[in-house]
Structure 1
Amino acid sequence: MKLKWLFPFLVMISLVTGCLNDPVQDDLITYINDDIPTVFELELKAVGTYDSVTGPNYTDDIVLYEALVNEIIPTYNEFVRELEAISIDTDEVREIHEGYIKGANLQYNAFVRMVTALEQQDRQLIEEANSMLDEARKLMRDYQVNIKNLAEEHNVELTENLDSETL
């Protein structure tokens, strides 16, 4: 299963109009330019490894299991820890960030469930893990829409540097 929903835009943010003393605007600019790019690399690494052993790249359960245990889960766990450590000043940005954390935690738990499913050779657990991944993708899409809407509300221009289809 290819995970394309990640963060479809690493952005350079510029002010559309000069809004003086808009703490949400300032917080959002810092969040997108400084905070997210540093943790996003961990997410890209973990999901890239996952994609390399699933879907058309799937070879067998052992390869998937070893990738999950040795690379994907540890890297994604580090990503979630760093994501949760981001300090946000405004309620508006914090609320949206919490959606990202919720989606990331759900995806992490799906990876863990997949390990259990492979250990037990339990098809139902695999289906549960895949459902969790589907729900995590939905939460990430919601996060992306919310970031774009908040940016528009506070006159912040998001310039796309990565296309979500390439992730």
Structure 2
Amino acid sequence: MSKNRIITALLAFILISTLVFPTVTSAAKQRSLEDVCTVSVDKKDLFVASNPEYADRGHIDLTCDIKQITFTDLYSTVENPRIVKADDFLTQFDVTALSTGSTYVNINAPGYTPIKIKFNVGDSSKSVTNNKDTDEDYYSEDDTYTEDQGEYDPEYGAFLFYADQVELLAKLEDKAIAAYNQNNYMTSSNRKKTYLAFNNTIVPTYTKFVVGLKKIKPSQTELKKIHATFIKGASLQLEGLTLIKKSISTQTINMKTFNQAQTKLDAGRKLVKKYSADLEAYAATFE
């Protein structure tokens, strides 16, 4: 496999693993996002591409009442980030197929219940579409990639090792995020259930994830700095999740603590996004 293809594949995984936690809002303040926005989706059935550069994509478009909501408030989350990833462009969202299965992409805005859209991803080998020309253009007949095999870049090797270490933690983050997405709409009737989810699954699992991140020690100076941003952002998100758990531990929600949690989550989100951008720039140096 050529170096640029490895970078593309690894970066796709690592950026998926940095899915951030959206802001939780109590039910009393929420309306449905569909009350102020209309949504259109060009296709919900996607296929996994053998070449990441030609990944199958779906597109979500929202038309919103600008008197009710600003475009910058909108953001997406993916319930299973192993199956698809979503990229945000104001009121447009690109959904890229990653692996087979089904999952929901949620379009969110503070103060509103999300719009949930189900995407199904199949195996391209079972599709009637055969992208033969693309494959022939991408691969040569004698596809040995000897230029990559004959050279060893220690910094590149360190990056691959780093990616492997992050990948080992993926299941922990996936579990915490999946539980969070299932419990991010709180009412008086489900408060206890939500608290138990935070207490028994979300906070303990994400704690293990953060502990795992802290054990990763990149050997390259630049990668150390980038990873430190990830640790700080994830730690702030953990603090926010812990505060949410505390705020809903009693029958009456402690709104002061709840709002402090939102501040932590917002700060963590910004740092995780910075980590993603910095890592993408770092990976580009190997292309």
Give the structure-1-normalised TM-score: 0.76
Aligned residue in 1 for 2:282: 150
Q: Does 1:45 align with 2:118?
A: no
Q: Deviations over 1:64-93 (max 9, x none)?
A: 110011111111111111111113111111
In 2, the alpha carbon distance for the partners of 1:58 and 1:139 equals 32
Indicate the residue corresponding to 2:77 in structure 1: 4
Residue in structure 2 matching 1:75, options 198, 201, 205? 205
Give the ranges of 4+ consecutive aligned residues of structure 1 lying more than 4 Å apart after TM superposition: 5-9, 17-21, 56-59
Partner of 2:222: 92
Separation in structure 2 between the aligned mates of residue 69 and residue 115 of structure 1, nearest angstrom: 7
Give the number of the structure whose residues are more often helix, by fraction.
1
Q: Provide the C-alpha distance between the structure 2 equivalents of 1:58 and 1:138, rounded to a whole number of angstroms.
A: 30
Q: Distance between the aligned counterparts of 1:93 and 1:129, measured in 2?
A: 29
The one-character-per-residue Cα deviations of 1:124-151 (angstroms, maximum 9, x if unpaired) are: 2111112211221111111111111001
Cα distance 1:132–1:75, how it changes in 2: closer, same or farther (>3 A)? same
What residue in structure 2 maps to residue 103 of structure 1?
233
**Structure 1 counterpart of 2:261, from 129, 139, 143:** 129
Greater shift, 76-85 or 111-120, is seen at: 111-120
SS at 1:119 equivalent: coil
Given that residues 46 and 71 in structure 1 are in contact (C-alpha distance below 8 angstroms), is that contact kept between their aligned partners in structure 2?
yes
CA drift of 1:56 comes to 8.2
Report the TM-score, using the length of structure 2 for normalisation. 0.46
Contact 2:186 2:194 in 1 (8 A): no
Higher strand share: 2
- Post-superposition shift, 1:57? 9.6
Deviates more, 1:85-94 or 1:114-123: 114-123
- Identify unmatched segments of 5+ residues in structure 1: 156-167
Q: What are the superposed Cα offsets for residues 33-64 of structure 1, whole Å, 9 maximum, x if unpaired? A: x1111112211110110110113899622111
Q: What is aligned with 2:125?
A: none
| C-alpha displacement of 1:4 | 3.0
Alignment partners' CA distance in 1, 2:155 and 2:195: 43
Task: Give SS of 2:248's match.
Answer: helix
- The answer for unaligned runs of 5 or more in structure 2 is 1-21, 24-75, 87-97, 99-144
Corresponding residue pairs, total = 149
Bigger radius of gyration, 1 or 2? 2
Which runs of structure 2 are paired with 1:112-127 in the superposition (5 Å)? 112-119=242-249, 121-127=253-259
Provide closer, same or farther for how the CA distance between residues 22 and 116 of structure 1 changes in structure 2, counting only shifts above 3 A: same
Q: Give 1:141's aligned amino acid.
A: K
